[in-house]
Amino acid sequence: MTSESRFIRACRGQAHDTVPVWFMRQAGRYQPSYRALRSRYSMLELARAPELIRDVTIRPVEELGVDAAILFSDIMIPLASLGIDFDIQENVGPVVSNPIRTRADIDRLRPFRAEDVAYVFEGLRLTAAALGATPVIGFSGAPFTLASYVVEGGPSRTYRRTKQMMWTEPDTFSALMRSFSAMVVAYLTEQVASGAAALQIFDSWIGALSMEDYSRSVLPHMRFIFESLAPLNVPLIYFGVGTQHLLPEMARTGATVLGIDWRTRLTDVRAMLGSDVTLQGNLDPERVVAGFEAARAGAQEVVASMRHDPRFIFNLGHGVPKESEPAVLKQLVDWVHEHGRMA
């Protein structure tokens, strides 16, 4: 194998031996080893302890043989530095005790300071040292997806208050997006300085916007983020769910890799966007819950259509469901490596 990993090479469109694979949410409650730790510590306690961050982050590499680790943290973590109070509640997700809804709320936000979340960067340094040649992916939430929690106060299905702010108080919405964009750039820049070999920006809920609203109210901020990160010279992955209608716009951000959910055929995305962008995805996560045969059959369709494409990374179309069997994921990784060979 050449010096750089097959994951990084696929991000850059360079030749490699077989299809690289990792899974969003590969560290989590489907793992007995994670559940054992969670019986002693809360999610936030884990995410604030550098040695535990390292241990949780590297386990999927050891247990599944994936080609990259992803920092164990949550998209909410850096918001503490801005003065946003949140908790992560079991079976709910992030809950914000002081939602941001007015211009005055935004004006009270503090600028992001890396030292407030020093444990993230120390966790990354320990992880990179432990992993050696296997890359660790740093990440952040994207401004819209972060706003969807911070404005609503918790998980939402409609994003009603967030959209309302975007339409009825566009200057307020834009100020919030600018504040989060500055945070994302500073936070991710420090992650690369601490050993992240690639970055993924999770805009999980961006598919809720129309193309027009995305172009007008979000795209300029995403372009600022990707342009600011480009000099770091690491692969930049941009992911969202239900984004088929937004992909041509998302490709204009400057992202080098686009994460695609299971609804859209990757060959159709390739035909639509051309060959300059790496595509990452996109097995329906429920296939993993349905068992190895269902997962293999879906993986077969994805891999057969993409394995000769040097810009392809296998992943699920969203996170690993907590009902997944670890053995199915392990078999899936082995299957993709064996059947994804380029030659």
Q: Which is nearer to ligand 1CP, 270 or 322 (CB)?
A: 322
Residues 109-138 as x/- pattern, contact with ligand 1CP by CB under 6 A: ------------------------------
Q: Is the dihedral of CA 138, 148, 312, 236 positive or negative?
A: negative
Q: Looking only at residues 127 through 186 of this chain, which bind ligand 1CP when binding is defined by CB under 6 A?
A: 139, 155
CB 71, min distance to ligand 1CP, A:
7
Terminal Cα-to-Cα distance of the chain (whole angstroms): 14
Q: Looking only at residues 280 through 319 of this chain, which bind ligand 1CP when binding is defined by CB under 6 A?
A: 319
Q: Which is nearer to ligand 1CP, 203 or 249 (CB)?
A: 203
Binding of ligand 1CP at residue 324 (CB under 6 A)?
A: no
Contacting residue, 7, 30, 72, 312, with ligand 1CP by CB under 6 A = 72
For strands 257-259 and 236-239, give the pairing: parallel
Q: How many residues of this chain bind ligand 1CP (CB under 6 A)?
A: 22
Binding of ligand 1CP at residue 25 (CB under 6 A)?
A: yes
For residues 160 and 148, give the distance between their C-alpha atoms in angstroms, rounded to a whole number: 9
* Structure tokens given for 119: 């444990």
Asked whether 120 and 73 are in contact (CB, 8 A), the reply is yes
Binding of ligand 1CP at residue 43 (CB under 6 A)?
A: yes
Residue 28 phi, psi dihedral angles, 5° rounding: 175, -165
Q: Which is nearer to ligand 1CP, 25 or 125 (CB)?
A: 25
Q: Which residue is nearest to ligand 1CP (CB)?
A: 93
CB 171, min distance to ligand 1CP, A:
26
For residues 300 and 321, give the distance between their C-alpha atoms in angstroms, rounded to a whole number: 20
CB 276, min distance to ligand 1CP, A:
25
Q: Which is nearer to ligand 1CP, 94 or 298 (CB)?
A: 94
Q: Which is nearer to ligand 1CP, 29 or 330 (CB)?
A: 29
Q: Which stretch binds ligand 1CP (CB under 6 A): 73-81, 121-129, 187-195, 273-281?
A: 73-81
Residues near 86 by beta carbon (within 8 Å), at least 6 away in sequence: 76, 79, 80, 94, 95, 96, 97, 149
Which residues are annotated as catalytic? 25, 29, 38, 74, 149
In 3-state terms, what secondary structure has residue 205? Answer: coil
Residues near 22 by beta carbon (within 8 Å), at least 6 away in sequence: 7, 60, 66, 67, 68, 69, 70, 137, 313, 315
| Chain CA centroid to CA 322, Å | 17
Of all helices (H) and strands (E), which one includes residue 280?
A: strand 278-283
* Contact set with ligand 1CP (CB under 6 A): 24-29, 38, 43, 70, 72-75, 88, 90, 93-94, 139, 155, 202, 204, 319
